[in-house]
Structure formats: structure tokens, C-alpha cells
């Protein structure tokens, strides 16, 4: 970890005015930035991410532009608490207690959006599912609660480039953010969150092993879900 910390050291004199510590003191500032349609960079429990109001088409487009990402690649959303997921995705068919067992944590659950989803139609158009995160990270959860809406969240890097474990890793993109919130070096292996598709009742499919595959599998099996058979 010492070598990682050396690589992630940011000279204070070289920091732009955009950098802030990721503490609750600055949470309201981050909330106001999101409400204004701006993009911020935040730590999560796995990697650093770019975040914006998921209901702001302008902000969402800005994230795609920042990353050089194709609009065909969907963005996940982040909410402050598990209880908020039902406003944006269909959850009634899931086993009782499943989401509370998986989240908060380094897991992205893919759920059906449903007709009653509060998500803007312009977010991931054409898709009837959405990836949802509740990171085990206090700062982003406080910000999401304060926004009162879903936060669009994606890794803070250029598409195709390594993920970021510290703000130094994406220093070339700071000037495209309203603020960069520094949570130090994240204790991750760049694997990101484990992505699990839960769109089919009683079934699951691991789409990305990520950093919590074994723990996730144990929880899924405890709730009697079975792995979806691969398509023939």
C-alpha cells in the first residue's frame, strides 16, 4: 500500500481550487453542485466515480463526454439508502431481506425499471433495467440523500483506462468537474463492484465478478436464488 500511496500523492500546491476533502462539511456544497446540473468526483467503497443528477440530461451527457464513452453504455444510479431503491426499480418480486443483505456494499444490482420508475426516460434510453448502487461510503450516501433523487454514477476515468483508486489517478480530468472530493487511497484492487443481474424472479446472473463475488454468491444462495442457465 505504501507504493500506492506514493503514486497517489498530490502536491498541495498543484491542487486546483476544485479539490475538497470528502467530509460531511462539504456535503451540502456537493448537493448544490448536483442540483445545478454539474458533475463531481467522489470516492465510493470500491473506486472513485463521476456523479451527477440522473435526471439532468445535460449533466448525464457531460459525463459521457468527459469519459469518451458511448451512449450505448448504460450508467448506474446510486441512492443513499436501500429503502429508496423501490422508487426507481421494481423490487416486489425479490426475496424479503435480499437487498438489505447485499447493500450497502460493493455490489451493483441490475433490476427492472418498471413503468412507475421515477427515473427520467432519457437515462439509458431503450433499456428496461437499471444498475443500482448503495456504496458503503458515508460521503456519497449523504450527498444522495440530500439530492433527494437518483445520482448517476460511473468510474472516474477515461473509457478503457484503469480505474481510479485516488484522485491523482484522474488528475487530467479534474478541470472537467465542479468539485473533486478526496477520500484518500481506496483499499481496492481496481476490480470495482460485483455486478449481479436480478431481473428474473428466483434467478441471478453474475455479470462482473468484481470485489465481492464470493460474499454475494453466499447471500444469493441463502435467499434461495439459483444461477441463471447460460443461453444456448
pLDDT tens, 216-226? 999 999 999 99
3-state secondary structure of 215: helix
Strand-strand pairing, 107-112 and 40-43: unpaired
| Cβ–Cβ < 8 Å for 84, 175 | no
Spell out where 19-150 has E strands: 19-21, 40-43, 48-53, 76-78, 107-112, 129-133
pLDDT tens, 136-191? 999 999 999 999 999 999 999 999 999 999 999 999 999 999 999 999 999 878 88
* Residue with cell string 476515468: 157
Q: What is the mean pLDDT of the chain?
A: 92
pLDDT of residue 13: 45
Partnered with residue 107 across adjacent β-strands are: 194
Please list, in sequence order, all residues whose beta carbon lies within 8 angstroms of the beta carbon of residue 33, skipping any fewer than 6 positions away: 40, 178, 179
Dihedral sign computed on CA atoms, order 102, 105, 106, 110 = positive
CA 81-51-112 angle, to 5 degrees, is: 55
3-state secondary structure of 208: strand
Query: Omega of the bond prior to 104 within 30 degrees of 0, cis?
Result: yes
Query: Which percentage of the chain shows pLDDT scores above 90?
Result: 82
| Cβ–Cβ < 8 Å for 185, 166 | yes
The pLDDT of residue 3 is above 50? no
Amino acid at each position: 500500500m505504501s507504493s500506492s500511496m506514493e503514486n497517489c500523492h498530490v502536491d498541495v500546491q498543484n491542487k486546483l481550487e476544485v479539490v475538497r476533502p470528502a467530509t460531511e462539511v462539504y456535503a451540502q456544497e456537493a448537493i448544490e453542485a448536483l442540483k445545478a446540473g454539474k458533475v463531481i468526483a467522489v470516492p465510493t467503497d470500491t473506486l472513485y466515480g463521476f456523479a451527477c443528477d440522473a435526471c439532468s440530461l445535460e449533466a448525464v451527457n457531460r459525463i459521457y463526454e468527459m469519459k469518451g464513452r458511448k451512449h450505448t453504455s448504460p450508467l448506474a444510479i446510486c441512492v443513499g439508502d436501500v429503502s429508496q431503491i423501490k422508487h426507481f426499480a421494481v423490487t416486489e418480486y425479490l426475496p424479503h431481506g435480499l437487498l438489505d443483505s447485499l447493500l450497502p456494499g460493493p455490489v451493483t444490482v441490475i433490476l427492472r425499471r418498471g413503468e412507475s420508475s421515477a427515473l427520467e426516460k432519457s437515462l439509458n434510453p431503450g433499456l428496461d433495467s437499471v444498475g443500482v448502487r448503495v456504496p458503503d461510503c458515508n460521503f456519497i450516501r449523504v450527498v444522495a440523500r440530500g439530492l433527494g433523487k437518483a445520482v448517476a454514477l460511473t468510474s472516474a476515468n477515461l473509457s478503457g483506462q484503469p480505474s481510479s483508486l485516488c484522485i491523482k489517478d484522474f488528475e487530467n480530468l479534474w478541470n472537467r468537474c465542479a468539485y473533486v472530493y478526496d477520500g484518500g487511497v481506496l483499499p481496492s484492487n481496481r476490480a470495482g463492484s460485483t455486478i449481479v443481474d436480478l431481473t428474473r424472479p428466483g434467478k441471478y446472473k453474475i455479470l462482473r465478478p468484481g470485489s465481492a463475488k464470493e460474499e454475494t454468491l453466499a447471500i444469493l444462495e441463502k435467499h434461495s436464488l439459483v444461477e441463471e442457465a447460460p443461453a444456448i
